[in-house]
Structure 1
Amino acid sequence: MPASLQLLGQFALHDDRPLSTTPVCRRLLAYLALRAHPVSRAATAAQLWPDLPAQRAHASLRTTLWRLAGRELVCTGHSELALSGTVRVDVREAHRLAGDPEADMALFERDLLPDWPEDWLLLDREWFHELRLRALEALSEAHLRQGRPVPAWAAATAVVRAEPLRESGHRLLLRLHLAEGNAAAALRHYEWFRRQLRAELRVSPSPRLHRLIAPVLRG
């Protein structure tokens, strides 16, 4: 059975059972899994061991590769490294399915290794956070168009839970209220969001959001 690598929510590696790895091996596997193309050994060593001199960083990389030898997880070239193509990675699966109206929402409910402090992970984490919010919004839109309010609510609520001041998520919730004829609930939600924006950012909802609620405000 091919190995599967989980990077969303937490790190986990398994085939037909969990596979144990050392922390440094986990760092290398995660780093390679987040690269679309093979990366040089020099760049990998510099990213994973930034506080070490180049020679010691390369030695640490060689030791880490030795620990992973025989597991068929890493493809090692003379100067480049890549995660084996047989390893399934949840982040890659989420990237592939983002925008698919039939995608499993569970793929987009967790952020990328949220507890890891690695500097090299910051841009990847920011990229995936935005990708998952956009994917959830697309799912909510698709379910709303297809008359499936329950999953539409679930996806839109997940967006707001992740980013409480993200207007696009609140816009979806307002549209869901209005689609179900719940004008009073839509107005309450709009007023709550308006107060939150004012208190937290000292700004008002956008004209686009105001236009959405305007018929209710006019009564």
Structure 2
Amino acid sequence: MSSNGVYLELLGFFKLSYAGCRIPLPSGTQRLLALLALHTAGVYRGAAAELLWPDCSPSRASANLRTALCYGRRAGPLPMVECVDRRLQLAPLVDVDLHRARCGAAQDANSGSPPPACPEALSATLGEELLPHWRDEWLVLERERWDQVRLHALESLAQRLRRDGEYLAALQTALTATEIDPIRETAHRILIEIHIAEGNTACAVKRYKEYQLLLRRELEVEPSPLMTRLVQHLISA
């Protein structure tokens, strides 16, 4: 978290702070700042009003937007929202935790980059949901985008940690990925590979059978041949 300047947190609970002190905001302004943080190219005023207040008349939605803008422009040391080419944009001075997390995920996905100094911290950040307690329709696609980013980053990090022999950190990272999407096979497959690398063959078989039962119960399908081959020799031994 930034101790200087304006910091906007969207992972977990919404929070806007300046120099470490929280800035209270009404709900409408919170949603406006979140919307602009997720659409870095900006959002036209009419589109923003429609997205944020879909159940209101156009005139009422526009009035709500004006109120949200008023609070957003005077909440911090400088205006939080700017108007550029008729689009509303988050002011550059606002540092956003989601943007940091995406950069960290992209850097970790680069096989040529050094491993993160604190993989546990990166894993914890990637384990956070995007504003999970908000029910806004416009967040559905943004959550899916974030979930795909963090799943791939967590799986990549877990594989790198396994190759480096950091088995506990690798297990915790892969488990975080399975919590995000229990059906997705990749993270479960990585868990099996970690158990095998540690010599814990019983744990590898147990993980496979638990995942197999989950797929049968939820989707009536079987694990992929790639996953089955990982444990085939262990089961038949």
RMSD: 1.5
Q: CA deviation at 1:9?
A: 1.1
SS at match of 1:69: helix
Distance 2:42 2:178 in 1: 36
| 1:208 and 2:219 matched | no
CA offset digits 1:158-207 (Å, max 9, x no partner): 11122222211110110001001111221122122212211221111100
State the TM-score, normalized to the length of structure 1: 0.94
Partner in structure 1 of residue 25 of structure 2? 21
| Contact kept? 2:195, 2:204, Cα under 8 Å | yes
SS at match of 2:22: coil
Partner in structure 1 of residue 13 of structure 2? 10
Q: CA deviation at 1:78?
A: 6.4
Q: CA deviation at 1:36?
A: 2.3
Ranges of 4+ aligned residues in structure 1 off by more than 4 Å? none
| 1:132 and 2:135 matched | no
Partner in structure 1 of residue 105 of structure 2? 98
Q: CA deviation at 1:148?
A: 1.1
Distance 1:34 1:146 in 2: 35
SS at match of 1:98: helix
Distance 1:59 1:77 in 2: 20
Partner in structure 2 of residue 218 of structure 1? 236
Partner in structure 1 of residue 50 of structure 2? 46
State the TM-score, normalized to the length of structure 2: 0.87
| Contact kept? 1:90, 1:107, Cα under 8 Å | no
What is the total number of aligned residue pairs between the two structures?
219
Distance 2:51 2:179 in 1: 32
Structure 2's unaligned 5+ residue stretches are 109-114
Q: CA deviation at 1:51?
A: 2.0
Percentage identity across aligned positions? 37
Partner in structure 2 of residue 68 of structure 1? 72
